[in-house]
Amino acid sequence: MDFELLKKAVWQANLDIVKRGLVELTWGNASGADRDAGVMAIKPSGVGYDDLRPDNMVVVSLATGEVIDGSLRPSSDTPTHLVLYQEFGRIGGVVHTHSNAAVSWAQAERDVPCLGTTHADHFYGAIPVTRRMREEEIMDAYEHNTGVVIVERFREGHIDPGQIPGVLVACHGPFVWGETPASAVKNATVLESVARMAFQTYMLNSKAAPIDQALLDKHHLRKHGTESYYGQD
Amino acid sequence: MDFELLKKAVWQANLDIVKRGLVELTWGNASGADRDAGVMAIKPSGVGYDDLRPDNMVVVSLATGEVIDGSLRPSSDTPTHLVLYQEFGRIGGVVHTHSNAAVSWAQAERDVPCLGTTHADHFYGAIPVTRRMREEEIMDAYEHNTGVVIVERFREGHIDPGQIPGVLVACHGPFVWGETPASAVKNATVLESVARMAFQTYMLNSKAAPIDQALLDKHHLRKHGTESYYGQD
Amino acid sequence: MDFELLKKAVWQANLDIVKRGLVELTWGNASGADRDAGVMAIKPSGVGYDDLRPDNMVVVSLATGEVIDGSLRPSSDTPTHLVLYQEFGRIGGVVHTHSNAAVSWAQAERDVPCLGTTHADHFYGAIPVTRRMREEEIMDAYEHNTGVVIVERFREGHIDPGQIPGVLVACHGPFVWGETPASAVKNATVLESVARMAFQTYMLNSKAAPIDQALLDKHHLRKHGTESYYGQD
Amino acid sequence: MDFELLKKAVWQANLDIVKRGLVELTWGNASGADRDAGVMAIKPSGVGYDDLRPDNMVVVSLATGEVIDGSLRPSSDTPTHLVLYQEFGRIGGVVHTHSNAAVSWAQAERDVPCLGTTHADHFYGAIPVTRRMREEEIMDAYEHNTGVVIVERFREGHIDPGQIPGVLVACHGPFVWGETPASAVKNATVLESVARMAFQTYMLNSKAAPIDQALLDKHHLRKHGTESYYGQD
């Protein structure tokens, strides 16, 4: 089997998170899934972005995490990506960064509320923060359990990962997804931008209120609903 | 009829809002009017800035919004631009962005006060924020009504759109105008800069007071009054 | 008489304030004096930085402000520069900008305290803010009076302009000077940087205290005293 | 003896602190040690980064500070670097900057707490700030005593410089180290980034709590422990 297209898309997404200013040093990784083939491709661990090439992306089984293609070790965050693909059945790309503003909210352990239309255009409500992980979750299978607490947060909060394509892991940072690696990069860019603006909004007005439901519906559905009228499609 | 010059000026303005750091992704649009011809040209909807060319700008009737020239769909914010051209009779360019600091004030639902001469040089007083839009205004003809609440804010506040060439739509972001597309871009740049400085000023001094009327008059009229002595004219 | 070298140094300083990120649009100007010739050269008014050339710098008399060389109108801030050269007898360059952090302190009407060695290396104590100007000072000879309130602030505060080479004009922004146009640019860069760091320091600790006198002496005199041992001289 | 490789590594580190945005003007210096040869190489004093070349790095004795190779005067901070190499026996590179966020914490005289995994990956706990220096420490052998107060802070706080490779000198700024000049640059980059994010975190939540010990252990040991599984080694 040949994963050339998938590896190229994932390589491009890994370069784009750097180009968009979401990543310093090697603090980030992007993956993409080919659900028909039952695999995902992901950045190799600890390799500098300058040295990335499409053919050193690592392909692993979505079901087992076993390496199927590639000679390098996959990103240490691979088990987190796998849980997200397994539990959020329709996503095709995942991005993890330590982008500045998003991490600040994750460290403050606060959801990023939907304060404006920039946010509403891409996330249909607040972007949640997980609970802190418990000692036993950290000691054993930490990266797998990072995915588990994300899924728990969406399940218990009755949040649809198709409508809110991202999360803040408490004291850590954002994981963001989309239908493709490229759309996951786009959503990660949006998250950083709205996190920065929400920060400044609260500094100016500590009682700033989320937007009204009608405006949230309007903006989100204008772009994402079945009657969307944005763009050229 | 040929709109080559108009489309080129509008294309340039759309590139300039990106170049000046006012726009991420596709979050912005610029338009320009030719009042003799009764038309405006505007960015097409959802097209990336890299793919813009003068000849894919869309020309629509100022009176009816009907597409007169161009094969793409105009920006979804077209009805807002139209209301501004219709109601603010002397403006020749309109810019909409989601620039960082301006959006933060829009989300905080606070007017940007005139705290210094940078502001006074270009805006003759506070830059107003609109009220929130009502559910029925959002549900039906949303973009048109966005223009309507802007005009209402200026009318009820007795604000002259020639003296205050911009506004913050609550929970959304700035619309800025000028005599030409290029001057609208300039005013949008100024708005972002003074919004950022006003933010920092309030953090340093929550009781910071607007500048005195004499200084406001001096700076604004030095550049804009009939006895202006700034520049080479 | 030929002012080629002076005009080139002033042209370079005007480009450098843009390159260092201290100026947006045309919000800034730099000048330089030739005291033997009794003149200063300054940026022309309202000309974009892209269009500046050494030979469109304007040379005016230090004593009278009369244009001696050049076909354009000098910067509208020329009378402020003149007062500074007349009253602060040893300075050879003046820079005015609307740089972000410095303007924020000017609008907050707070002196920038000396909170660390970055500041102490270049400014021997707090960077003062002037009082607001009075209506009659604004109405008539505004730019001249801007210089007058700066000089008043230094005189009444017993501040040595050789030790504190810059000031914040209330509700306006910084004027910074030095022995040459290049050193004025350097001091303007320092002012912006220390203003930004002082802002963040106060956000972290609203009771942050200025550095001790011994440390202030050490750092300032290490670079500027008669026994300085910094650099290769 | 020939120090070509050492001087090249130190030259590269001095360029990298500028490239990473940690240094303005000439506010920074990097050094590297060759412990077998008993020397360190360091940036010359007051030389602009554009004029640096490998062969104008200055080589001095680690024991005595005597210049062994090079015709320029070494950085005025040389005595501080020497104390760090002498007291922290395994480090091979030291970087000093006035980077923006780190200086803000140093001026606020607050330790940077470990609020997230970005921090934990590189620093095994809070990054300490020193006490203020006493007048007699400043008056005589100031730069040497700067090193002494750093060492005192680590000794009295029972902090392992191998686990916390950096410090904030009160009212001054960061000194950061590593096994090589390149790793010191990396740690200085991390410090600036986590200082910026910790600042924003506290603005959002003044009661933000450090991460749990289990998470700190997990992240730090994942990269630095004897059973580390990050990267390709």
What pLDDT score was predicted for residue D46? 82
What pLDDT score was predicted for residue B1? 56
Read off the pLDDT of residues A40-61 as tens digits, 9 standing for 90 and up: 999 999 888 889 999 999 999 9
State the nearest Cα–Cα gap between A73 and chain D, in angstroms: 6
Cα-Cα end-to-end distance for chain C: 33
D48 versus A179: the higher-pLDDT residue is A179
Inter-CA distances, D86 with D35, D94, D151, Å = 10, 12, 10
Cα-Cα end-to-end distance for chain D: 33
Average pLDDT of span B173-186 = 98
Please state, in angstroms and rounded to a whole number, the distance separating the CA atoms of residues A9 and A31.
Answer: 9
Read off the pLDDT of residues D47-93 as tens digits, 9 standing for 90 and up: 888 899 999 999 999 999 999 999 999 999 999 999 999 999 899 99
Average pLDDT of span B81-91 = 96
Judge whether D10 is closer than 8 Å to chain A, CB to CB: no
Mutate: best of A104, A149, A168, partner D, most D CBs <10 A: A104
Q: Which residue is closest to C215 within chain D, CA to CA?
A: D138
Report the number of secondary-structure helices (H) and strands (E) in chain B: 8, 7
The answer to whether residue B63 scores a pLDDT higher than 70 is yes
Flag if D115 and A202 touch (Cβ within 8 Å): no
Closest to A166 measured CA to CA, from A198, A129, A199? A129
State the nearest Cα–Cα gap between B230 and chain C, in angstroms: 6
Q: For the whole model, what pTM was predicted?
A: 0.95
**Residues of chain B found within 8 Å of residue A203, distances taken between Cβ atoms:** 199, 203
- One DSSP character per residue, D139-154 reads HSSHHHHHHHHHHHHH
Flag if C107 and B186 touch (Cβ within 8 Å): no
Q: Which residue is closest to D221 within chain A, CA to CA?
A: A139
Judge whether B21 is closer than 8 Å to chain C, CB to CB: no
Confidence of residue C195 (pLDDT cuts 50, 70, 90): very high
The one catalytic residue among A121, A124, A142, A233 = A121
Burial call A159-192: b when 16+ CB within 10 Å, e when fewer = bebeebbbbbbbbbbbbbbbebbbbbbbbbbbbb
Judge whether D215 is closer than 8 Å to chain A, CB to CB: yes
What pLDDT score was predicted for residue B73? 96
Residue D205 — φ and ψ, nearest 5°?
-155, 100
Judge whether B1 is closer than 8 Å to chain A, CB to CB: no
Flag if B205 and C108 touch (Cβ within 8 Å): yes
Read off the pLDDT of residues C13-70 as tens digits, 9 standing for 90 and up: 999 999 999 999 989 999 999 999 999 999 999 888 889 999 999 999 999 999 999 9
**Residues of chain A found within 8 Å of residue D218, distances taken between Cβ atoms:** 138-139, 142
Please state, in angstroms and rounded to a whole number, the distance separating the CA atoms of residues A160 and A157.
Answer: 9
Tokens encoding B189:
């740049």
What pLDDT score was predicted for residue D18? 96
Residue A34 — φ and ψ, nearest 5°?
-115, 100
Strand blocks (E) in chain C: 28-34, 39-42, 58-61, 67-69, 93-97, 166-169, 173-178
Does residue B230 have an active-site annotation? yes
What pLDDT score was predicted for residue B54? 96
Angle between helices C181-204 and D181-204 (to 10 degrees): 60
The ipTM estimated for the assembled molecules is 0.93
B10-19, B41-50, C55-64: which has the minimum mean pLDDT?
Answer: B41-50
